[in-house]
Amino acid sequence: MYEWQAKAIAATRGTKFGVMLLSALGVEPDHPPSCGKPCVTSDGFLIGGFTSEHGERHMGALLGDVADLETNIVAFPTHLGMTPDERKEFYAMWRKWVTTDYRSPPGLRLDDGRTMVDQSERDRRRLAKLTGRAS
């Protein structure tokens, strides 16, 4: 495990983002809750398997809004003090974690300006607003 991964796990322990981070890292938590790889619905929600803190398993559970996840992913590397290479690896990890994206165009909107396909101008403006950068 890389140093940034251990720091990220420690910083997010006990949060929904932390549960998703463990799943994206491929780390099995010591105890629930946990979640599996999600898909993104056409209206921007994360759906996937989820195990509650009581051990109850739910398939196709609503895991949250993908825009909230994207905001966390964009802000987190700065909070953790990641290097540019660590940030690149962090973004790649999240892109691999989302199994299917039914939005048009698909792909997580992160601050490196890339998605799995080219972004529309509307998405570029949204990204600039999230990151505080001019488009």
Tens of pLDDT, residue by residue over 17-29, are 999 999 999 999 9
Q: What does residue 101 show for φ and ψ, rounded to 5 degrees?
A: -130, 115
* Residue 78 reports pLDDT greater than 70: yes
pLDDT confidence band for 133 (50 / 70 / 90): low
Residue type, 72: N
Q: Which residue has the tokens 């809004």?
A: 65
Residue type, 115: T
pLDDT confidence band for 134 (50 / 70 / 90): low
Buried/exposed code over 51-89 (b: 16+ C-beta within 10 A; e: otherwise): beeeeeeeeebebbebeebbebbbebbeebebeeebbee
pLDDT confidence band for 99 (50 / 70 / 90): confident
Query: How many angstroms separate the Cα of 28 from the Cα of each of 62, 92, 128?
Result: 20, 19, 34
